[in-house]
Amino acid sequence: MIAFFLALVASAAADHAYGAPGEAPNLGFNRMTQQQIISGELKAGDALPSLRSLAQDLGISVITTKRAYDELTREGFVDSVGGKGCFVAMQNKSLLQEKKMKSIEDKLSDAVADAKKLGIDLGELMKMLNLLYEEE
């Protein structure tokens, strides 16, 4: 599982997907890791890479990596076990569902804002959403 996680992180790092321009690397990394946990790509109990190996793989400082893991721990996504490392935390199913809903809500909010900027009315936006929903 660590190899899978590192491959995802390395791919995101190569695409600069782990951080938006001007965004601190730990924030982008946290967002990406949260999405992987919420989507089920990373499961409860999965071990995460050590601070040093992750920092080396991403080309960032160990301090930045520590900040990222600390934040993920505070938010309940990761458990830190002294001397053993960091692991994906057990997620309360209703809390996980709420996190998934929040993620979708955030994306829809961005889409609505973009639609308004482009002068697309609600009816047209709903047609687009229905079309996209039916495609899947």
85 by DSSP, 3-state: which?
strand
The model's pTM? 0.59
Contact 122, 116 (CB under 8 A): no
CA pair distance 72, 68, nearest whole angstrom: 6
Is the pLDDT higher at 86 or at 92? 86
The predicted structure's pLDDT at residue 30? 82
Percent of the chain topping pLDDT 90: 32
Strand partners, 87: 47, 79
Instruction: Report CA-CA distances (Å) from 107 to 22, 48, 104, 112, 113.
Output: 20, 27, 5, 9, 10
